[in-house]
Amino acid sequence: MNLNDGKIMVTGAASGLGRCFALNFKKAGAQVLAFDVDEEGLAALKEEHPDIVTATGSVASEEDVKAAVKTGVDAFGGLNGLVNNAGIFRDALLVKQNRDTGKLRTMTLDEWQAVVDVNLTGTFLCTREVAAQMVQSGQSGVIVNISSCSRHGNRGQGNYSATKAGVVADTKLWAEELARHKIRVGAVAPGFTQTPILDGMRPEMLEKLLSQVPLRRAGQPEEIYMAVKFIFECGYFTGRCIDVDGGISM
């Protein structure tokens, strides 16, 4: 896809990676729909780039997703691109026992379900609605799902790892299902990336975290965008996941 022809919806676009994707797509000449629950963040994004169209809502809400896609269709005449970037984490061990008291603390159902709802169900809902619109209009397109290096399993992230592994499995499946409609589906799995989450960590914790990375640093959002851009522009890429993680092994 030539990004000048792009009509792209980016989820989780109010901050972090999503904000980087939205701004860079716009700079590349695409029309961009930024979708997020963070109304203030979207307002700040639009202030920086008034041509970006915004939609407020949750990817976990079927109603909100349908409304967001309609916003894009009304604004651009259709959508031919989607980046499923919205995601949350609620880290906890499956079962943790206090060494002193013996008291157990388990991952709650709410902690499990919240992550599944946003990371996996949200990706499903957005992909379904955007792909259906593409198929109905006879429009070819590209869908990119943001996974994570944690998809291989990361201690304390049973919920998050499960969703990010599921995203890659669905990437392969949807690529096969949608190929006949000239819709390509790919995934990018970032490692530790310089976003507000890392910025808020204590220096000693961040140093310990990055010591696991062979390149000994965090990735930059623009480096993750390069992989997303490649998938959009390379017409022979589909059904695969690109790891952009500094070489870390989980």
Question: Do the Cβ atoms of 59 and 123 come closer than 8 Å?
Answer: yes
- Residue in 160, 174, 192, 225 annotated catalytic: 160
- Give the bridge partners for 187, in sequence order: 145, 241
Say whether 236 is catalytic.
Answer: no
What is the three-class DSSP state of 234? coil
d(CA 131, CA 136): 8
Q: In degrees rounded to 5, what are phi and psi of residue 85? A: -105, -25
| Nearest residue to 128 via CA among 90, 158, 173, 187 | 173
Q: What is the CA radius of gyration of the chain?
A: 18
Positions marked catalytic = 160
